[in-house]
Protein backbone atom coordinates (compact mmCIF):
# COMPACT_ATOMS: atom_id res chain seq x y z
CA UNK A 1 0.00 0.00 0.00
CA UNK A 2 1.18 3.53 -0.76
CA UNK A 3 0.54 5.67 2.31
CA UNK A 4 0.84 9.44 2.59
CA UNK A 5 0.73 12.08 5.29
CA UNK A 6 -0.62 15.37 3.99
CA UNK A 7 -2.55 18.53 4.78
CA UNK A 8 -5.82 19.36 3.02
CA UNK A 9 -8.35 22.02 3.98
CA UNK A 10 -6.08 23.04 6.83
CA UNK A 11 -6.26 19.59 8.43
CA UNK A 12 -3.41 17.08 8.81
CA UNK A 13 -4.51 13.77 7.33
CA UNK A 14 -3.22 10.34 6.45
CA UNK A 15 -4.38 8.35 3.49
CA UNK A 16 -3.59 5.74 0.89
CA UNK A 17 -3.22 6.09 -2.85
CA UNK A 18 -6.00 4.47 -4.86
CA UNK A 19 -6.66 5.06 -8.56
CA UNK A 20 -4.53 8.18 -8.50
CA UNK A 21 -6.35 9.75 -5.53
CA UNK A 22 -5.47 9.98 -1.85
CA UNK A 23 -8.21 8.39 0.25
CA UNK A 24 -8.39 9.66 3.83
CA UNK A 25 -9.78 7.64 6.79
CA UNK A 26 -13.27 9.09 6.19
CA UNK A 27 -13.23 7.83 2.61
CA UNK A 28 -12.84 11.31 1.10
CA UNK A 29 -10.72 11.42 -2.06
CA UNK A 30 -8.05 14.11 -2.49
CA UNK A 31 -6.10 15.16 -5.57
CA UNK A 32 -2.37 14.60 -4.80
CA UNK A 33 -1.55 17.72 -6.85
CA UNK A 34 -3.71 19.89 -4.58
CA UNK A 35 -2.54 18.77 -1.13
CA UNK A 36 0.50 19.72 0.90
CA UNK A 37 2.58 16.64 1.53
CA UNK A 38 4.17 16.08 4.91
CA UNK A 39 7.02 13.70 5.65
CA UNK A 40 5.97 10.09 4.98
CA UNK A 41 7.30 9.11 8.45
CA UNK A 42 8.72 10.93 11.47
CA UNK A 43 11.93 8.95 12.03
CA UNK A 44 13.62 8.88 15.44
CA UNK A 45 16.91 8.91 13.51
CA UNK A 46 18.25 8.79 9.97
CA UNK A 47 21.35 6.83 9.04
CA UNK A 48 22.94 7.17 5.62
CA UNK A 49 25.46 5.20 3.66
CA UNK A 50 28.35 6.56 1.62
CA UNK A 51 29.91 4.79 -1.35
CA UNK A 52 27.49 1.88 -1.58
CA UNK A 53 27.72 1.72 -5.40
CA UNK A 54 31.04 0.99 -7.09
CA UNK A 55 30.34 3.29 -10.03
CA UNK A 56 29.65 6.24 -7.70
CA UNK A 57 32.85 5.57 -5.74
CA UNK A 58 34.64 5.50 -9.09
CA UNK A 59 33.30 8.85 -10.25
CA UNK A 60 34.62 10.36 -7.01
CA UNK A 61 38.01 8.66 -7.41
CA UNK A 62 37.50 6.60 -4.26
CA UNK A 63 37.72 2.89 -3.51
CA UNK A 64 35.05 0.53 -2.26
CA UNK A 65 34.82 0.48 1.55
CA UNK A 66 35.48 -2.78 3.37
CA UNK A 67 32.43 -2.31 5.58
CA UNK A 68 29.41 0.02 5.40
CA UNK A 69 30.51 3.66 5.58
CA UNK A 70 27.82 5.17 7.78
CA UNK A 71 27.03 8.73 8.79
CA UNK A 72 24.18 10.58 10.49
CA UNK A 73 21.67 12.61 8.52
CA UNK A 74 20.31 15.18 11.01
CA UNK A 75 16.54 15.26 11.38
CA UNK A 76 16.71 19.00 10.67
CA UNK A 77 17.59 18.09 7.08
CA UNK A 78 14.24 16.40 6.51
CA UNK A 79 11.92 17.96 3.94
CA UNK A 80 8.68 16.70 2.35
CA UNK A 81 7.76 16.27 -1.29
CA UNK A 82 7.51 19.68 -3.01
CA UNK A 83 9.33 21.40 -0.15
CA UNK A 84 12.00 23.96 -1.08
CA UNK A 85 15.68 23.04 -0.71
CA UNK A 86 17.92 25.93 0.37
CA UNK A 87 21.17 26.42 -1.55
CA UNK A 88 23.86 27.50 0.96
CA UNK A 89 25.41 30.83 0.14
CA UNK A 90 28.92 30.37 -1.25
CA UNK A 91 28.54 26.70 -2.16
CA UNK A 92 30.61 25.76 -5.22
CA UNK A 93 29.35 22.25 -5.96
CA UNK A 94 26.03 21.02 -4.60
CA UNK A 95 24.38 17.90 -5.95
CA UNK A 96 21.43 15.55 -5.50
CA UNK A 97 21.64 11.81 -4.78
CA UNK A 98 18.64 9.60 -5.55
CA UNK A 99 18.41 6.80 -2.98
CA UNK A 100 16.17 4.00 -1.81
CA UNK A 101 15.21 4.76 1.79
CA UNK A 102 14.41 1.83 4.08
CA UNK A 103 11.92 2.41 6.91
CA UNK A 104 12.30 0.13 9.93
CA UNK A 105 9.01 -1.47 10.97
CA UNK A 106 9.89 -2.61 14.51
CA UNK A 107 12.78 -2.34 16.93
CA UNK A 108 15.78 -4.34 15.82
CA UNK A 109 18.85 -5.33 17.84
CA UNK A 110 21.45 -7.95 16.87
CA UNK A 111 19.43 -9.05 13.87
CA UNK A 112 20.89 -11.62 11.49
CA UNK A 113 20.89 -10.82 7.78
CA UNK A 114 18.71 -13.86 7.08
CA UNK A 115 15.94 -12.34 9.21
CA UNK A 116 16.53 -8.67 8.50
CA UNK A 117 13.82 -8.03 5.91
CA UNK A 118 11.24 -9.08 8.52
CA UNK A 119 12.15 -5.85 10.32
CA UNK A 120 11.51 -3.59 7.32
CA UNK A 121 8.20 -1.75 7.44
CA UNK A 122 8.46 -0.14 4.03
CA UNK A 123 10.32 2.11 1.65
CA UNK A 124 10.34 5.65 0.33
CA UNK A 125 12.38 7.86 -2.00
CA UNK A 126 15.23 9.99 -0.60
CA UNK A 127 17.42 12.79 -1.89
CA UNK A 128 20.70 12.84 0.03
CA UNK A 129 21.82 16.34 -0.94
CA UNK A 130 25.42 17.40 -0.36
CA UNK A 131 27.78 20.32 -0.76
CA UNK A 132 30.74 18.41 -2.13
CA UNK A 133 33.10 21.30 -1.21
CA UNK A 134 33.07 20.06 2.40
CA UNK A 135 33.40 16.31 1.81
CA UNK A 136 37.13 15.96 2.37
CA UNK A 137 39.27 13.99 4.79
CA UNK A 138 39.00 16.96 7.15
CA UNK A 139 35.23 16.71 7.21
CA UNK A 140 34.53 12.97 7.54
CA UNK A 141 32.02 11.75 8.46
CA UNK A 142 30.54 14.31 6.03
CA UNK A 143 28.18 16.12 8.40
CA UNK A 144 29.20 19.57 7.21
CA UNK A 145 28.60 18.59 3.59
CA UNK A 146 25.35 16.67 4.07
CA UNK A 147 23.83 18.11 7.23
CA UNK A 148 22.44 21.44 6.00
CA UNK A 149 18.80 22.20 6.80
CA UNK A 150 16.52 20.91 3.98
CA UNK A 151 19.19 18.50 2.64
CA UNK A 152 17.13 15.35 3.28
CA UNK A 153 13.92 15.31 1.22
CA UNK A 154 11.79 12.17 1.71
CA UNK A 155 8.59 11.02 0.05
CA UNK A 156 6.08 11.40 -1.25
CA UNK A 157 4.81 7.97 -0.12
CA UNK A 158 5.56 5.33 2.44
CA UNK A 159 5.23 2.10 0.45
CA UNK A 160 4.69 -0.90 2.69
CA UNK A 161 7.19 -3.73 2.35
CA UNK A 162 4.61 -6.21 1.06
CA UNK A 163 4.20 -4.02 -2.05
CA UNK A 164 7.88 -4.31 -3.02
CA UNK A 165 8.68 -7.75 -4.38
CA UNK A 166 12.44 -7.22 -4.57
CA UNK A 167 14.00 -4.04 -3.12
CA UNK A 168 17.30 -5.07 -4.72
CA UNK A 169 15.93 -4.80 -8.25
CA UNK A 170 14.56 -1.26 -8.53
CA UNK A 171 15.52 1.40 -11.06
CA UNK A 172 16.58 4.80 -9.68
CA UNK A 173 16.51 7.97 -11.77
CA UNK A 174 17.12 11.67 -11.19
CA UNK A 175 15.97 14.43 -13.53
CA UNK A 176 16.92 18.09 -13.17
CA UNK A 177 14.76 20.56 -15.09
CA UNK A 178 13.47 17.63 -17.13
CA UNK A 179 16.95 16.36 -18.08
CA UNK A 180 17.94 12.83 -17.08
CA UNK A 181 21.08 13.17 -14.94
CA UNK A 182 21.28 9.89 -13.04
CA UNK A 183 20.16 6.31 -13.61
CA UNK A 184 21.02 3.11 -11.79
CA UNK A 185 19.62 0.04 -10.08
CA UNK A 186 19.50 -1.11 -6.47
CA UNK A 187 20.81 -4.42 -7.86
CA UNK A 188 24.26 -2.79 -7.85
CA UNK A 189 24.43 -1.95 -4.15
CA UNK A 190 27.66 -3.18 -2.55
CA UNK A 191 26.04 -3.91 0.81
CA UNK A 192 22.49 -5.24 0.65
CA UNK A 193 19.67 -4.13 2.92
CA UNK A 194 19.90 -7.27 5.11
CA UNK A 195 23.66 -6.78 5.43
CA UNK A 196 23.15 -3.15 6.46
CA UNK A 197 20.56 -4.02 9.09
CA UNK A 198 22.73 -6.78 10.51
CA UNK A 199 25.76 -4.46 10.63
CA UNK A 200 23.97 -1.51 12.23
CA UNK A 201 21.88 -3.51 14.71
CA UNK A 202 25.06 -5.17 15.96
CA UNK A 203 26.00 -1.98 17.81
CA UNK A 204 22.82 0.12 18.07
CA UNK A 205 19.10 -0.44 18.32
CA UNK A 206 17.18 0.40 15.17
CA UNK A 207 13.83 1.81 16.26
CA UNK A 208 10.47 1.73 14.54
CA UNK A 209 10.35 4.38 11.78
CA UNK A 210 14.12 4.83 11.69
CA UNK A 211 15.25 5.49 8.12
CA UNK A 212 18.33 4.08 6.38
CA UNK A 213 19.50 5.76 3.17
CA UNK A 214 21.16 3.05 1.10
CA UNK A 215 23.48 5.04 -1.15
CA UNK A 216 23.43 6.39 -4.70
CA UNK A 217 24.72 5.24 -8.10
CA UNK A 218 26.88 7.19 -10.55
CA UNK A 219 25.50 10.35 -12.09
CA UNK A 220 25.97 13.34 -9.80
CA UNK A 221 26.06 16.86 -11.23
CA UNK A 222 25.82 20.42 -9.98
CA UNK A 223 22.45 21.96 -9.19
CA UNK A 224 21.72 25.65 -8.64
CA UNK A 225 18.99 27.94 -7.31
CA UNK A 226 15.98 27.79 -9.61
CA UNK A 227 16.49 24.15 -10.53
CA UNK A 228 13.80 21.52 -9.97
CA UNK A 229 14.82 17.97 -9.04
CA UNK A 230 12.57 14.97 -9.76
CA UNK A 231 13.86 11.76 -8.20
CA UNK A 232 12.18 8.41 -8.72
CA UNK A 233 12.59 4.90 -7.38
CA UNK A 234 10.69 2.34 -9.41
CA UNK A 235 7.28 1.62 -7.91
CA UNK A 236 7.68 4.06 -5.02
CA UNK A 237 6.77 7.39 -6.59
CA UNK A 238 8.45 10.63 -7.64
CA UNK A 239 10.01 13.03 -5.14
CA UNK A 240 10.13 16.61 -6.43
CA UNK A 241 11.85 19.62 -4.83
CA UNK A 242 12.89 23.00 -6.11
CA UNK A 243 15.99 24.92 -4.99
CA UNK A 244 16.13 28.45 -3.65
CA UNK A 245 19.17 30.50 -2.71
CA UNK A 246 19.77 31.07 1.00
CA UNK A 247 18.66 34.36 2.47
CA UNK A 248 21.00 34.83 5.40
CA UNK A 249 18.78 37.49 6.95
CA UNK A 250 15.67 35.31 7.00
CA UNK A 251 14.48 32.60 9.32
CA UNK A 252 15.45 29.08 8.22
CA UNK A 253 12.97 27.67 5.69
CA UNK A 254 11.77 24.30 6.95
CA UNK A 255 9.64 22.42 4.51
CA UNK A 256 8.04 25.19 2.49
CA UNK A 257 5.14 23.31 0.97
CA UNK A 258 4.80 24.78 -2.48
CA UNK A 259 5.32 23.46 -5.11
CA UNK A 260 37.05 17.26 -4.50
CA UNK A 261 37.68 17.72 -8.14
CA UNK A 262 36.70 19.09 -11.51
CA UNK A 263 33.09 18.76 -12.54
CA UNK A 264 31.09 19.04 -15.73
CA UNK A 265 29.82 22.49 -14.80
CA UNK A 266 26.13 21.67 -14.95
Residue 260 belongs to a domain: no
Q: Are residues 32 and 44 in the same domain?
A: no
Structural domain for 9, as ranges? 1-38
Please, what's the b/e burial string for 56-74 (b: 16 or more CB within 10 A of its CB; e: otherwise)?
bbeeeeeeeeeebbbbebe
Q: Are residues 64 and 10 in the same domain?
A: no
**What's residue 261's pLDDT?**
35
pTM: 0.91
Q: How many domains does the chain have?
A: 2
In a domain, 106, yes or no: yes
Q: Which residues of the chain have pLDDT under 50?
A: 252-266
d(CA 60, CA 27): 49
Output the domain CATH number for residue 2. 2.30.30.370
Backbone phi and psi for residue 143, each to the nearest 5 degrees, phi listed first: -65, -40
Could you report the per-residue pLDDT of 171-213, keeping only the tens digit for each? 999 999 999 999 999 999 999 999 999 999 999 999 999 999 9
Does residue 252 belong to any structural domain of this protein? no
Amino acid sequence: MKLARFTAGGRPLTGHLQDGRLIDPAGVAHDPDRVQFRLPVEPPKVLALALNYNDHAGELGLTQPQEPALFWKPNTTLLPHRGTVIYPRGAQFMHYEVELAVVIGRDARRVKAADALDYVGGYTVANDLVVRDYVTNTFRPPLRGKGWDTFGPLGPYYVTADEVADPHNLTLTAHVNGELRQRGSTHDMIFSIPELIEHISRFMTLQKDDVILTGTPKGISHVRPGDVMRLEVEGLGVLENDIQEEDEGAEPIRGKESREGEWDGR
